[in-house]
């Protein structure tokens, strides 16, 4: 039997694209679970800074990530030269899933890899925080 996948929780503190009540409920469930997990303030910000922690997180084995869209998470890690293993990464989307759905998936020991196949590509404007869409529009 394989070990429980690691859990990474993104608070989306700067982008603020995940509903506050979902983030808070998922974090509460994690804290009450007694399971070990890593929490980061904002994966978007970490990627923008090319934070070396992303490489450590990507190389740590099987992981479940509570954040936003799987494609966006894949791209954020790729942009920092810290590609996630496609066969060992499950991303739970707090933008569209309920806190109960995210919590159930995080606590399920079965890993359901869901990173999109192929090369990492930049997220669509709908997948990006509003501030990043504006920045892209001015940079093109």
Is 1 part of a structural domain of the chain?
no
The confidence score (pLDDT) of residue 120 equals 56
Q: What is the pLDDT of residues 54-77, one digit of tens each?
A: 999 999 999 999 999 999 999 999
- CATH code of 122's domain: 3.40.1400
Is 67 part of a structural domain of the chain?
yes
Where is 47: in which H helix or E strand?
helix 43-48
For residue 109, is pLDDT > 90?
Answer: yes
Give the tokens for residue 52. Answer: 């070396």
Host domain of residue 61? 6-139
How many distinct structural domains can be found in the chain? 1
**Whether the Cβ atoms of residue 41 and residue 13 lie closer than 8 Å to each other:** yes
Helix, strand or coil, per DSSP, at residue 39? strand
Whole-model pTM: value is: 0.83
For residue 31, is pLDDT > 90?
Answer: yes
């Amino acid at each position: 039997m394989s070990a429980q996948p690691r859990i990474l929780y993104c608070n989306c503190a700067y982008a603020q694209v995940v509903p506050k009540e979902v983030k808070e409920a998922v974090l509460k469930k994690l804290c009450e679970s007694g399971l070990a997990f890593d929490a980061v303030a904002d994966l978007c910000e970490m990627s923008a800074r090319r934070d070396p922690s992303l490489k450590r997180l990507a190389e740590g084995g099987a992981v479940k990530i509570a954040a936003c869209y799987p494609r966006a998470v894949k791209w954020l890690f790729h942009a920092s030269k810290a590609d996630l293993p496609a066969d060992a990464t499950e991303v739970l989307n707090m933008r569209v899933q309920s806190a109960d759905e995210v919590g159930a998936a995080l606590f399920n020991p079965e890993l359901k890899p869901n990173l999109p196949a192929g090369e990492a590509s930049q997220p669509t404007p709908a997948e990006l925080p509003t501030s990043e869409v504006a920045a892209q529009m001015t940079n093109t």
